[in-house]
Amino acid sequence: MKKVLITALSVFALTAQADFLGSSHNWNDGSSDPFKAAITAAEAGYAANFKANMAWRDTEKMIKEAKKLNAAGKTAAAVALANKAHVQTVNATAQTALAKNAGPLF
């Protein structure tokens, strides 16, 4: 069971990092848009969890609120909220792996 959990988390972590920089990264000066990177990771994780029917209740609300904060110019708060939403998607992915093997103890 631990192998399944570790494998699932590793695969998710690698796939989430594959798009972490995204197209917002400027390779000429090394800068990137931190909100775009955070919200992209949160949305990708949420989509995967939603597809597996294991999306958490508040994740979508957090993503929408982060977008509103960013539009209002509160980038630091928006990035923090998007990162919290991403953490929820990681935890939901771990829960998905555990739920596949759930059953009675005896």
pLDDT digits (tens, 9 = 90+) for 37-96: 899 999 999 999 999 888 999 999 999 999 999 999 999 999 999 999 999 999 999 888
Classify residue 81: in a domain, yes or no: yes
pLDDT score for 32 = 72
DSSP type of residue 31: B
Classify residue 78: in a domain, yes or no: yes
Classify residue 77: in a domain, yes or no: yes
Instruction: Find the angle CA(43)-CA(50)-CA(19) to the nearest 5 degrees.
Output: 30
* Euclidean distance between CA atoms 41 and 82, whole angstroms: 8
pLDDT score for 31 = 56
Range of the domain at 86: 2-20+32-100
Phi/psi for 31 (5° steps) reads -90, 160
pLDDT score for 15 = 63
* R_g of the chain, CA atoms, integer Å: 16
Classify residue 25: in a domain, yes or no: no
* Euclidean distance between CA atoms 67 and 36, whole angstroms: 10
Please tell me which residue, 102 or 31, carries the higher pLDDT value.
102
3-class state of residue 43 by DSSP = helix
Please give the tally of structural domains in the chain. Answer: 1
Please tell me which residue, 7 or 84, carries the higher pLDDT value.
84
* Euclidean distance between CA atoms 53 and 62, whole angstroms: 18
